[in-house]
Each structure stands twice: as C-alpha cells, then as structure tokens.
A and B are shown apart, each in its own frame.
Chain A
Amino acid sequence: MLIKLLELFITFFKIGALTFGGGYAMIPLITDEVVSKGWQTKEVLIDFIAISESTPGVFAVNISTFIGYEQYGVFGAMFSTLGVIIPSFIIISFIAKAFTKFADNKYVIGFLNGVKPIVVGVIFSVGIDFLISSVFKIKEITLFREIIFDWKTIVIFAIVFSLTKVKERMHPIFIVVLSGILGYVLFGIL
C-alpha cells in the first residue's frame, strides 16, 4: 500500500515539477506517465481530462485527484494531489524573496527559451494523437485486428473546430458539452 501511494506521489511530483505553461502543458506528461504505467487506457484518461476541464477548480488538482482516486481511493487522491502541488510550493517559497535576480539569470532565461517551444511541439503531438485514436478505431476480431476509419468523428471535429475558430477563446465546458451532444446524436441516434 505504502509503495503504491509513494509511486503516485513521485509520479505526480515529477509531473508538477516539469509543467511549464499552465494546465495544458501538463496533459502530455500525464498521458505519458499514466498510460505507460498502465494505470488507465488513453480513452479513459481523455474522459478524465474532459471532466477535469468542465468542473470548477484547478485543472492540475482535478486531474491528479481523479487518477489518484481511481488508483487507490481517497488516499491515492491525496498523495497524487500533494505530489503535483509540492514542487511549485517549494519553488515559490524559495524564489518569492529573490524573484528579480531569478528571472534575470541567463540560465533560467535560456532554459525557458528551450522549454517553451519544445512544450508547444509536445502538446501539438498529443492533440494529434488524441484525434487519431478517435478517428481510427482498432477493432479486435478474434484472430486479427481491423482498423476502422470513423467518418462521424471527422464530422464532429469539423463542426466543433470551425466553431472555435469563429469564436476565439470559447469556454472549454461549451466545447465538451457540444461535442458530447454531437457524439450522442451521431453515434447513439443516427
């Protein structure tokens, strides 16, 4: 039990310490860690992300609580949330007093100049990966696998994505609800 809780803590500590640039920068790290450890499938994780984006509060705390809870109940949720919070807690506690020096340090500037663009590439890659795994579904038929191209997902993508381009900064909840309704209509009713 202790080992499991410690593993959750360390995993989320790593995620918290390497998230630069807000909640979305956390998604590639979480996906990589959680899926490679076999804690969740990519699909369920994407469902968690959707719920975490549409409930109040800090996205990082939402998603860590969700994954921790599914792994080891309330204690799991506590350890993963603590893990994700503590790096920024420590860093801010130390930096707060000497901020101006910190921000002008050439190594810090260099580090961020490298991290910011590589994170953009990483987030972009995860977005494409999420899209591809919805569009092409792998169907297991006893002995062989068949890859199915799902045109309905393309319809949903085209509608929702073009709406977000018409109205900039559309709220995440709106996007989640709209794509949920479209999903229900296209997959469930039609």
Chain B
Amino acid sequence: MYFKLFWTFFKIGLFTFGGGYAMIPFIHKFAVDKYKWITEQEFMDIIAIAESTPGPIAINSATYIGQKVKGVRGSLAANLGVSLPSFIIIILIAAFFMQYKNNVHVEYAFQGIRIGVSILVLNAAIRMYKKLDKSYLSYALISLGFGLLLFDLLSVVYVIIIGGAIGIITQIVKVRGDENVD
C-alpha cells in the first residue's frame, strides 16, 4: 500500500506541468475514482483546506490523502512520490543549465523569457485579484502590499504578516460591532 501511494503520487508529479492547480484533476482521477482513497466530499474539503493553509496544494493533498490511507507513513510515501520527479528533473536541468548559462544564444532567448516570466506573474496577480472580495479593506491592502514592496520598505515576510494582522483586527472589530447592534 505504501508503494501504491508512492507510485500514484509519483505519476501525478511526473505528468503535471504548470503547478498545483493542474494537478487537481489527476488527483481526483486516482484518489477518488480509481482507488477510492477519499470521497468526493473529502476531495472538496482538501481543495478548501489547501486554499486556507500555507504551502503548495500538491503537498497539502499528498499529506491529507496519505494520512487518510496509511497514517503518517502514508503521507510520507505520498509526499516523497509527488516531489521526487521534480527533484530529479531539476537537478539534471540545473547541472545542464550551469554549462550553458553563459552561452550567448541561450542568453538571447532568456532576455525574452524574462519578459515572459513577468507576464506570467502579472497575469497571476490579475487572476487572484478577480477572485477577491471587492471591499475597501481589499483595495487598501492591495495598495499597501504593492507600495511596501515596490519601494522596498519591508521584506515580504513582514508584509504578509502585517496583512494577516490587519485582517484579524478588522474581523474582531467587525464581530464586536455586530454584537453591539444585536
């Protein structure tokens, strides 16, 4: 069973391109449809958990499903499976990349690719913006995060913690306000 968990997640890790969300249909296919490790409802829960906890969604799901099937060792097997393909492939590429990174033709292509990456990042920001609640708090925090980082005023770690703290304070004030109205 450990091997089955490992091997299933190994395949999921090997055949998904483009990050965690591309993995979701694969995980569903294996864990819900084929092996019935988790129910449809649990699958929906995993997605919700992954969105409200830190860390990569692939690791979150591998941990949850592995744990459900075979406890802590099960989640270790699943995590090892999902990470190993990336690990091996990147080490091979990194070794190769070191040799070619000073090649002038490679550099020309990468001058273009760096623009491509900034487009990927900007589009990700736009996508995530569309999913947000459009409140004054959201707009204020977007501007705060943008400004603090653009002018290099604080490290990202603190910016995120400040965002969370402001969120908690706002929530407490809101709950108090609701109670007073009651």
A151 CB–B CB distance under 8 Å: no
B120 touches A107 (CB 8 A): no
Q: CB < 8 Å: which of B101, B110, B132 contacts A50?
A: B110
Contacts of B141 in A (CB 8 A): 114, 117-118, 121
B181 CB–A CB distance under 8 Å: no
* Least CB separation from A160: chain B residue: B119
A96 touches B68 (CB 8 A): yes
Q: B-side binding surface: helix, strand, loop or mixed? A: helix
B34 CB–A CB distance under 8 Å: no
Instruction: Looking at the assembled complex, report how far the CB atom of B27 sits from the nearest CB atom of chain A, in whole angstroms.
Output: 12
A92 touches B17 (CB 8 A): no
Instruction: Looking at the assembled complex, report how far the CB atom of A30 sits from the nearest CB atom of chain B, in whole angstroms.
Output: 9
Q: CB < 8 Å: which of B53, B120, B125, B149 contacts A175?
A: B120
Contacts of B85 in A (CB 8 A): 56-57
A8 CB–B CB distance under 8 Å: no
B124 CB–A CB distance under 8 Å: yes
Q: How far is the CA of A113 from the CA of B82 in the complex (A)?
A: 30
Greatest chain A CB density within 10 A among B56, B60, B138, B169 is at: B56
Q: CB < 8 Å: which of A20, A70, A186 contacts B160?
A: A20
B150 CB–A CB distance under 8 Å: yes
Q: How far is the CA of A36 from the CA of B149 in the complex (A)?
A: 13
B157 touches A32 (CB 8 A): yes
- Given A57-B85, A107-B168, A130-B121, do A186 and B112 touch, yes or no (CB 8 Å)? yes
Contacts of B99 in A (CB 8 A): none
B177 CB–A CB distance under 8 Å: no
A4 CB–B CB distance under 8 Å: no
Contact-residue bracket for chain A: 35 or more
B114 touches A115 (CB 8 A): no
A91 CB–B CB distance under 8 Å: yes
B115 touches A153 (CB 8 A): yes
B156 touches A28 (CB 8 A): yes
Contacts of A103 in B (CB 8 A): 48-49, 52
Interface residues of B in 112-157 (CB under 8 A from A): 112-125, 128-129, 132-133, 137-139, 141-150, 155-157
Can you list 12 pairs linking A and B with CB atoms under 8 Å apart? A24-B128, A31-B156, A32-B155, A50-B113, A53-B120, A57-B16, A88-B54, A114-B167, A119-B160, A124-B146, A125-B147, A176-B116
19 new A-B contacts, CB < 8 A, other than A58-B13, A58-B56, A176-B120, are: A21-B128, A44-B101, A47-B114, A50-B116, A51-B90, A57-B14, A58-B82, A61-B58, A92-B67, A95-B49, A103-B49, A103-B52, A123-B125, A126-B149, A153-B115, A161-B119, A171-B17, A176-B113, A179-B116
Binding site for B on A (CB under 8 A): 14, 16-29, 31-33, 36, 43-44, 46-47, 49-62, 65-66, 69-70, 74, 77-78, 81, 84-85, 87-89, 91-93, 95-96, 99, 102-103, 106-131, 134, 153, 156-157, 160-161, 164, 171-173, 175-176, 178-184, 186-188
